[in-house]
Structure 1
Amino acid sequence: MKEQFSEAFGNLVNKLQGWFNTTIEYIPNFILAIGVMVASYFAAKYVRKLVNKLVSKKVEQDSISNAISRVTAVVVVALGLFMALGVMNLGKALTSLLAGAGVVGLAIGLALQGTLANTFAGLLLSFRKKIRIGDWVETTGFSGEVMDINLKDFTLKEADNNIVIIPNKTILNNPLKNYSLTTKMRVFLECGVGYESDLEKVEQLTKSVIANTFDQVKSEDEVEFYYTEFGGSSINYLCRFWIDAESMLEKLNAKTKAIIEIKKAYDKEGINIPFPIRTLQFDNKLNVKAPDIQEVFSDN
């Protein structure tokens, strides 16, 4: 029993001595690993500021530039951690850490599939030069001014001041019309005049009114005018002209102004814009004369 105790005590002493020797041997590596981690920490702070500054020049949204800079900082710190583990010859721990990170990343990716899709879509939208805050766009049945593009959603303010929030992946997967990309918009104006009207006079007067109302229209030749059909109560026409505009509101204001001026000119010249008329024709003769009440009672 005494010999077994002495042997066990000797093994313990040898083990502690081995650990002590290993610790002494690895003190330089440990100090170097700590230095690597400290250096990676300060490098991450510097890289974060640098990336934030660079991304801010390309992206107007602070939330996205901050997110990108934070992710970059985390990557720098992770690289420092892996280098520190490598310096301490902890290859197995490094391999286990990478394997665990892969499994955790897969699980998180499956659980947050929709959120991650919106996040990456938000990053892509933010770097698109054809979509900017303040643009007037139309997509997925909604039209309005772009108020914000963040990592989760796309915010529009419609003409009636309602706020519409759309997931980023929906914007990325659907067509988007940006009115602000061009400096000109075409106004379409449809109207009808009475059958008794002088059609040539109507055409000349309409073109003249449009040319005198809008500075962008240099002459009457720039106004397109086409009669489209013999309507139920009027002869209908289509008038088209270009204006300098970058939003749908400017287009609506121009159309409103054109309608007002055309109505004034038509009233002055006696040109009729008829109401819709429906004529009812009865081919059979109806007996509207009521029977004599006394005759009805006398028959009874």
Structure 2
Amino acid sequence: MQESFDINDSIEGIWEKLGEWTDSLILSLPNFILAILVFVLFVIAAKYVGKLLGRILRFKVRQDSIREITIKIVKVLVIVLGFFVALGLLNLDTVLTSVLAGAGVVGLAIGLALQGTLNNTFSGILLSFLPEIQIGDWIENNGYAGRVVEINLRSIVIKEADNNYVVIPNSQVVDAPFKNFSRTSRSRVMLDCGVGYESDLELVKELTIKAISEHFPQKGNEEVEFMYKEFGDSSINFVVRFWTDVTSNREILLARSKAVIAVKKIYDENDINIPFPIRTLEFNNKLNIDRSSED
């Protein structure tokens, strides 16, 4: 009889517990439905936020990979926010606290493990929004010079003049100074040269400025600048500076080559000498040479 009594009590306890759970489920059903609806709305909102962000980034970011990863990150953040709001509607404060604590620990561990990678990633996102460097620009950075062909979340890729590609981590580009030849349409080109000591220096200056001005018209307040620098070993050296349309290292070399041809031509027409180093050997042991020849 005792065993039958215990079984009946257990069955009644189970039914009472199931009844309590059913009542609790019925009472929580509106919040549960509301939480599902809120989460679905956040998922839909993430989709439209991604589309809107894509339209905005299309005019700001030229790199497709940067736009795509940025849109994905924003969509995930919106969905995660909806998940936490849904948990709050279900009054699952303990679960929400545990999830946030676990996310913090996991995020810290991932951040420490991928510190260098994350640094390059955030630097890549920063570079994609900087107007100072864009795809197609000719830059100098970390001892390399070339045209930017790609900006991704890990590095930028530049193509050097010798047709080789150089991959530079984004963090190094952000942390180090870089020179961008393409940000300005006109730049100043410098040409070094020298003339013989017998030359008329005033005439040399006049002819040089004339030759450069004819081939490189100056605009606005620009002017051809000519300055003598020093008395060299075999020439009086000078530098001439002028403005022209250049946006890459190659165009600078072409402009300097054109200037060399122009200056050499006008110097030849006016018998102006551009000397080259000469080494003179003197033999002061003539007496010894004569004696050795007699022997």
Task: Return the TM-score normalized by structure 1.
Answer: 0.89
Tell me which of 61, 77, 82 is aligned to 1:59: 61
Q: Give the paired residue count.
A: 291
Displacement, 1:285? Answer: 4.3
1:260 is matched with 261
2:246 is matched with 245
1:296 is matched with none
Q: Look up the equivalent residue of 2:154 and give its one-letter code.
A: K
Q: Look up the equivalent residue of 1:121 and give its one-letter code.
A: S
Displacement, 1:291? Answer: 8.0
Displacement, 1:284? Answer: 4.0
2:228 is matched with 227
Tell me which of 105, 109, 116 is aligned to 1:103: 105
**Residues 209 and 217 of structure 1, relative CA distance in 2, 3 Å threshold:** farther
Tell me which of 39, 59, 81 is aligned to 1:79: 81
Displacement, 1:95? Answer: 0.9
1:155 is matched with 157
Q: Any conservation in 1 of the 2:216–2:243 contact (CA below 8 Å)?
A: no
Q: Any conservation in 2 of the 1:217–1:243 contact (CA below 8 Å)?
A: no
Q: Distance in 2 between matches of 1:258 and 1:64?
A: 42
Matches within 5 A, 1:1-300: 1-216=3-218, 222-285=223-286, 287-288=288-289, 289=292
Measured against aligned partners, the alpha-carbon deviations of 1:68-104 in whole angstroms (never above 9, x if no partner) come to 2111111111111112112222111111111111111
Q: Distance in 2 between matches of 1:145 and 1:193?
A: 37
Displacement, 1:210? Answer: 0.9
Identical-residue share of aligned pairs (%) = 53
Q: Which moved more, 1:240-249 or 1:69-78?
A: 240-249
Q: Look up the equivalent residue of 2:114 and give its one-letter code.
A: L
**Residues 217 and 35 of structure 1, relative CA distance in 2, 3 Å threshold:** closer
- Match of 2:234, SS? coil
Q: Which moved more, 1:138-147 or 1:99-108?
A: 138-147
Q: Distance in 2 between matches of 1:126 and 1:217?
A: 33
Q: Look up the equivalent residue of 2:112 and give its one-letter code.
A: L
Q: Any conservation in 1 of the 2:218–2:224 contact (CA below 8 Å)?
A: no
Two-structure CA RMSD over aligned residues (Å): 2.2
Displacement, 1:107? Answer: 0.7
Q: Any conservation in 2 of the 1:59–1:126 contact (CA below 8 Å)?
A: yes
Displacement, 1:128? Answer: 1.6
- Match of 2:197, SS? coil
- Match of 1:237, SS? strand
Displacement, 1:218? Answer: 8.9
Q: List runs of 5+ in structure 1 lacking aligned partners.
A: 293-300
- Match of 2:182, SS? helix
Measured against aligned partners, the alpha-carbon deviations of 1:210-248 in whole angstroms (never above 9, x if no partner) come to 1112233799x9322222222222222211112232322
Q: Look up the equivalent residue of 1:174 and give its one-letter code.
A: A
Q: Distance in 2 between matches of 1:76 and 1:201?
A: 73
Q: Distance in 1 between matches of 2:282 and 2:233?
A: 15
Displacement, 1:282? Answer: 4.0
Q: List runs of 5+ in structure 2 lacking aligned partners.
A: none
Displacement, 1:153? Answer: 0.9
Displacement, 1:112? Answer: 0.8
**Residues 225 and 14 of structure 1, relative CA distance in 2, 3 Å threshold:** same
Q: Distance in 1 between matches of 2:145 and 2:285?
A: 54
Task: Return the TM-score normalized by structure 2.
Answer: 0.90
Q: Any conservation in 1 of the 2:216–2:242 contact (CA below 8 Å)?
A: no
Q: Any conservation in 1 of the 2:42–2:78 contact (CA below 8 Å)?
A: yes
Q: Distance in 2 between matches of 1:76 and 1:228?
A: 64
Q: Distance in 1 between matches of 2:159 and 2:287?
A: 60
